[in-house]
A and B are shown apart, each in its own frame.
Chain A
Amino acid sequence: MSEILIKNGHVFDVVTGIKGDKADIAIKDGKIVDKVSSKAKTIDASGKTVMAGALDIHAHVAGPKVNLGRWFRPEDKMIRGEMRGGIVKETTRMEQGFSIPSVFRTGYSYARMGYGFAMEAAMPPLYARHVHEEIKDTPIVDEAALPVFGNNWFVFEYLKEHNIEKTAAYISWLLKVTKGYGIKVVNPGGTEAWGWGLNCLGINDEVPFFDITPGEITKGLIEANEYLGLPHSVHIHPNMLGDPGNAPTTIDTMKLAEGYKAKNKFGREQLLHMTHLQFHSYGGTGWGDFCSNAKEIMDYVNKHPEITFDTGNVTLDETTTMTADGPFEHHLSALNHLKWCNVDVELETGSGVVPFIYSPNVFPCAVQWAVGLELALLAKDPMRTMITTDHPNAGPFTRYPRVFKWLMCKKTRDEQMAAFKHSGKVADATILNEIDRELTLYEISQMTRAGPAKALGLANMMGGLAPGMNADVAIYNLNPAKMPTDPEEIEKAFSLSAYFLKNGEIVCQDGQIVHSGTKKTFWVDAKAPESKQVNRDVREKFLRYYTVTQANYEVPDSYAPNPFVIEANANV
């Protein structure tokens, strides 16, 4: 079938070990191959950067709270009579939405930036059908979704008894019926407490009525995750997100992973993925003495190979926060007085959505911006460091190229630090000014390609350019031998790829979408010993407490018309 040869590009790839040398990349039938025939179509990548397609390990791009964010914010599309983010219509579907793009804009925007995979960060199981309807409608980019477990009544019951087998049997059932990818934990216990207007303020703060703590929930889920041998690890949004002085809670949470061993056949080594770590790396006691604790956090992360994390960089935009951390959103809205949405979900979770403006004139926002960058720059292992904006919470994912620019160019960071209204106070509260490090293209490729692929258990097929891997290839107008003096060119190059190939098909050329590809929905079939007791518990809870029937809860195959199913086997 289709043969393509990308010639003469400067390749940055962890898997093949090429660190900027010129190399040809051969593609056939959607995969990287050793070589192709003379009939292959050639792409001249001379003077350009070539990397595997990137992976976004955490973004809120599909599902009920994302959509609520979209429709309750007409002003995210149109502001002062102008379309936010500009009008873009090529030979494809209409695109709109700045911080919460429509599904078409989502797919096309990822493709323009050379991203081939996105993980929907939090799927409420009762709404799984909705998540998959949106995933199905999102063009080009492969997607998966992480169901949330940290506030689930079944999980509480089984982990209270410390019964890992039952927990695993339930998780296995739930992943299957929701077509989920792994175990997501959001504000463990806290969102259930929010069902009564309360919260859990630390890993030992008991969940009302359920007699279990966030620490116990998290540890139990880590054990269940390894018992099931899942491709990804537990992916956690710890308690106390966004609160000054939350760094100790974050470290307490990371410590929960001590003493376990990762057990899977996918090459995944971490036990706990800490998501949007920026929001969890704060010192101080209030907004006045708010400061960065990125160093304390990274001191721990650097010494603990069982931890991976994604940054959650603030981009200094007007954006939309949305999370399954219901109580956090209520507090945020009490702070900025903006419109607040909340949806608590029976037996499972909750969510909140609130617009937020990260203004450079507001002291805490400036500190947050610095913290996100500090985390990445202090990281000793780029393979365990992933770049995100917790889209759209800290900023839209379309700002990734801007984040790369800041990380690669100290000058741009210095300029922004000096431009803050309270620059002196910000400098005192952070250490960014003292960090000279500038990330290299190779390190960017680790943090956006090989690193997330490995953390997700997809290292054998994505995030690299070795023969046999998926032919997701991004070509950027950046010449490593002659890097631009104007850092804006870096941002521009990463925003509009010269070429992006998805599964060996050119989908983006000169920043224009030329083909919609055939996206796949990834999910994990975790095979575990069945538990008759769990089956009975499930049946009973549907009869007594849920408001849909068990038969209608399951997401049928038609919602993932192009599935990629990964089988995992329990380590019994």
Chain B
Amino acid sequence: MKTATITLKTTPTLYLEADVITPDAFAGKSKDEILALPVYEGRECYKLGDYFEIAGEIGDTPENTKIVVNGDCSKVKYIGAKMSAGEVIVNSSADMYTGAWMRGGKLTIKGNVDSFSGLGMEGGEFTVEGNGENYIGASYRGDWRGMQGGVLRVKGNVGSDIGTFMNGGTLIVEGDADVHIGTHQEGGTIIIKGDVNRRVGGQMVKGTIYIFGNMNYMMPGFKYTQDVELEVDGYKGTFAEYIGDLGERHSKSKGQVVYGKLYRKK
């Protein structure tokens, strides 16, 4: 794997849309070609080189390309979006759409991410060491196909609308979450290790949610079934199992209704 390091030298006045900061966009290009890639501030189109310097080596394929991003990227959008392979490490916070529609590879943000990060994620490993805002691992507006696969882990806290319309993959929040976790979920796994406010699993059709910490209020459409012993993301212990959302439609498999499952750590 070859590593290229890009360093932010000019902060954008507004916000920078840089969906070119991915192994897919860099692979097989020369440094000059990379610096000439288009980025946007509002309606104006600039070059990546107007904002970043580049050093190091570039891989010939996305798999062989690693990108380290230095400088404060809290106003840079779309870092790692749609990447299919390779690795990206950002040594600061990043803005919206970080890792959106990610298909593979490894993305690490050593800071916070803003809303819509991990939108519609399909595969790969996406780790946020800080906090996430809203709509983390959610679906795009109107799309009933949300996160499909991969592992999205936020080590800090997140806001609301986490994992909406999730179909697959695993979303782990090690800190706290606000409201609307797994709304309209139809597959996949959500794990919140801290506390949540409420509205967990609202309108859930299928899938699994684990809540370790406190929950202020349970959705009325969830019914307690039993206590179970489980191992969840390295923790082993007893969980109370609930099925729901009973207000929502559910399919049948082998004559049995398939519900969403909500587990609360006891």
Are A and B close enough to touch in the complex, i.e. CB under 8 Å?
A: yes
Contact partner, B140, options A74, A338, A339, Cβ 8 Å: A74
Q: Does A424 contact B (CB under 8 A)?
A: no
User: Complex formed: what's the CA distance from A75 to B141 in Å?
Assistant: 7
Q: Does A201 contact B (CB under 8 A)?
A: no
Contacts of B141 in A (CB 8 A): 74-75
User: Complex formed: what's the CA distance from A80 to B249 in Å?
Assistant: 26
Q: Is the CB of B82 within 8 A of A81?
A: yes
Contact partner, A75, options B81, B100, B142, B249, Cβ 8 Å: B142
Contacts of A80 in B (CB 8 A): 82, 101, 120, 140
What is the total number of residues of chain B having a CB less than 8 Å from a CB of chain A?
Answer: 12
Closest residue of A by beta carbon distance from B249: A337
Closest residue of B by beta carbon distance from A73: B142
Closest residue of B by beta carbon distance from A355: B144
Interface residues of A in 91-145 (CB under 8 A from B): none
Q: Does B44 contact A (CB under 8 A)?
A: no
Greatest chain A CB density within 10 A among B140, B142, B249 is at B142
Q: Is the interface of B mostly helix, strand, loop or mixed?
A: loop
Closest residue of A by beta carbon distance from B122: A80
Q: Does B143 contact A (CB under 8 A)?
A: yes
Closest residue of A by beta carbon distance from B144: A338
Interface string of A69-88 (1 = CB under 8 A from B): 00011110011110000000
Contacts of B82 in A (CB 8 A): 80-81
Interface residues of B in 135-160 (CB under 8 A from A): 140-144
Contact partner, A78, options B81, B140, B144, B249, Cβ 8 Å: B140
Contacts of B140 in A (CB 8 A): 74-75, 78-81
Q: Is the CB of A75 within 8 A of B101?
A: no
A81-B82, A81-B120 are contacts. A339–B100 as well, Cβ < 8 Å? no
Contacts of A74 in B (CB 8 A): 140-143
User: Complex formed: what's the CA distance from A75 to B249 in Å?
Assistant: 23
Closest residue of A by beta carbon distance from B119: A81
Interface string of B49-84 (1 = CB under 8 A from A): 000000000000000000000000000000001100
User: Complex formed: what's the CA distance from A561 to B142 in Å?
Assistant: 36
Q: Is the interface of A mostly helix, strand, loop or mixed?
A: loop
Contacts of A339 in B (CB 8 A): 142, 144
User: Complex formed: what's the CA distance from A291 to B248 in Å?
Assistant: 33
User: Complex formed: what's the CA distance from A74 to B140 in Å?
Assistant: 8
Contacts of A81 in B (CB 8 A): 81-82, 100-101, 119-120, 140
Closest residue of A by beta carbon distance from B205: A337
User: Complex formed: what's the CA distance from A327 to B67 in Å?
Assistant: 54
Contacts of B142 in A (CB 8 A): 72-75, 339
Contacts of A75 in B (CB 8 A): 140-143
Closest residue of B by beta carbon distance from A334: B249
Distance from A355 Cβ to chain B, minimum over Cβ atoms (Å): 8
Closest residue of B by beta carbon distance from A339: B144
User: Complex formed: what's the CA distance from A80 to B141 in Å?
Assistant: 11
Closest residue of A by beta carbon distance from B19: A81
Contacts of A78 in B (CB 8 A): 140
Interface string of B80-107 (1 = CB under 8 A from A): 0110000000000000000011000000
User: Complex formed: what's the CA distance from A81 to B19 in Å?
Assistant: 10
Greatest chain B CB density within 10 A among A79, A81, A338, A339 is at A81
User: Complex formed: what's the CA distance from A337 to B250 in Å?
Assistant: 10
User: Complex formed: what's the CA distance from A339 to B120 in Å?
Assistant: 19
Distance from A338 Cβ to chain B, minimum over Cβ atoms (Å): 6
User: Complex formed: what's the CA distance from A72 to B144 in Å?
Assistant: 12
Contacts of A337 in B (CB 8 A): 249
User: Complex formed: what's the CA distance from A79 to B100 in Å?
Assistant: 12
User: Complex formed: what's the CA distance from A256 to B56 in Å?
Assistant: 78
User: Complex formed: what's the CA distance from A74 to B144 in Å?
Assistant: 11
User: Complex formed: what's the CA distance from A72 to B141 in Å?
Assistant: 9
Distance from A156 Cβ to chain B, minimum over Cβ atoms (Å): 36
Greatest chain A CB density within 10 A among B82, B120, B143, B144 is at B143
Contacts of B249 in A (CB 8 A): 337
User: Complex formed: what's the CA distance from A337 to B145 in Å?
Assistant: 12
Closest residue of A by beta carbon distance from B102: A81
User: Complex formed: what's the CA distance from A73 to B81 in Å?
Assistant: 22
User: Complex formed: what's the CA distance from A403 to B119 in Å?
Assistant: 35
Contacts of B144 in A (CB 8 A): 338-339
Contacts of A79 in B (CB 8 A): 140, 143
User: Complex formed: what's the CA distance from A81 to B102 in Å?
Assistant: 10
Contacts of A73 in B (CB 8 A): 142
User: Complex formed: what's the CA distance from A547 to B81 in Å?
Assistant: 50
Greatest chain B CB density within 10 A among A75, A78, A338 is at A75
User: Complex formed: what's the CA distance from A337 to B141 in Å?
Assistant: 17
Distance from B70 Cβ to chain A, minimum over Cβ atoms (Å): 25
User: Complex formed: what's the CA distance from A345 to B141 in Å?
Assistant: 28
User: Complex formed: what's the CA distance from A74 to B143 in Å?
Assistant: 8
Interface string of A299-342 (1 = CB under 8 A from B): 00000000000000000000000000000000000000111000
Distance from B135 Cβ to chain A, minimum over Cβ atoms (Å): 14
Contacts of B81 in A (CB 8 A): 81
User: Complex formed: what's the CA distance from A80 to B101 in Å?
Assistant: 6
Contacts of B101 in A (CB 8 A): 80-81
Closest residue of B by beta carbon distance from A338: B144
User: Complex formed: what's the CA distance from A487 to B142 in Å?
Assistant: 36
Distance from A304 Cβ to chain B, minimum over Cβ atoms (Å): 43
Distance from A67 Cβ to chain B, minimum over Cβ atoms (Å): 15
User: Complex formed: what's the CA distance from A78 to B142 in Å?
Assistant: 10
User: Complex formed: what's the CA distance from A339 to B144 in Å?
Assistant: 9
Closest residue of B by beta carbon distance from A81: B101
Closest residue of B by beta carbon distance from A76: B142
Distance from A361 Cβ to chain B, minimum over Cβ atoms (Å): 16
Distance from B215 Cβ to chain A, minimum over Cβ atoms (Å): 28
User: Complex formed: what's the CA distance from A381 to B100 in Å?
Assistant: 53
User: Complex formed: what's the CA distance from A74 to B81 in Å?
Assistant: 19
Distance from A359 Cβ to chain B, minimum over Cβ atoms (Å): 14
User: Complex formed: what's the CA distance from A80 to B119 in Å?
Assistant: 9
Distance from A539 Cβ to chain B, minimum over Cβ atoms (Å): 43
Distance from B120 Cβ to chain A, minimum over Cβ atoms (Å): 6
**Ordered nearest first, which 6 A-B pairs have the shortest CB separation?**
A75-B143, A74-B142, A81-B101, A74-B141, A75-B142, A80-B101
Residues of A within 8 A of B (CB): 72-75, 78-81, 337-339
Given A75-B141, A80-B120, output 9 extra A-B contacts at Cβ < 8 Å: A74-B140, A74-B142, A78-B140, A81-B81, A81-B100, A81-B101, A81-B119, A337-B249, A339-B144
11 A-B pairs (CB sep. < 8 Å):
A73-B142, A78-B140, A79-B140, A80-B101, A80-B120, A81-B120, A81-B140, A337-B249, A338-B144, A339-B142, A339-B144
Residues of B within 8 A of A (CB): 81-82, 100-101, 119-120, 140-144, 249
